[in-house]
């Protein structure tokens, strides 16, 4: 598991300088984007078989298992397509 750069702030509250970042991910990898309403302790390997499931199910499981409950939460999961 690798982490991407995370920035503090509230989306729409203050426009900061936009910095483009590029990451290389192998085919079949999952990209998980989440707001701070999701606990930082989430781990896909704590739920066997979850990584292989549909991205919508992965997002729902992460939401159900790791939402903080005191804040709004957004979870987006995308699987990098396998190359043909």
User: Distances from the Cα of 28 to the Cαs of 19, 46, 48, in angstroms?
Assistant: 26, 19, 17
Looking at residue 2, its pLDDT comes to: 73
* Per-residue pLDDT band at 1 (split at 50, 70, 90): low
Place of tokens 């999961």: 77
Do 58 and 44 contact (CB within 8 A), yes or no? Answer: yes
CB proximity list for 29: less than 8 A, separation 6 or greater: 79, 80
User: How many whole angstroms separate alpha carbon 79 and alpha carbon 82?
Assistant: 9
Q: Residue 24: pLDDT above 70?
A: yes
The pTM (predicted TM-score) of the whole model is: 0.81
Characterize the bridge pairing of strands 30-34 and 75-79.
antiparallel
């Amino acid at each position: 598991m690798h982490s991407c750069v995370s920035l503090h702030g509230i989306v729409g509250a203050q426009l900061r300088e936009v910095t483009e970042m590029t990451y290389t991910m192998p085919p079949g990898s999952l990209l998980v984007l989440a707001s701070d309403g999701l606990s930082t302790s989430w781990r896909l390997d704590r739920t066997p078989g979850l990584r292989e499931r549909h991205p919508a199910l992965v997002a729902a499981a992460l939401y159900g298992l790791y939402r903080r409950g005191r804040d709004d939460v957004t979870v987006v999961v995308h699987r990098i397509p396998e190359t043909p």
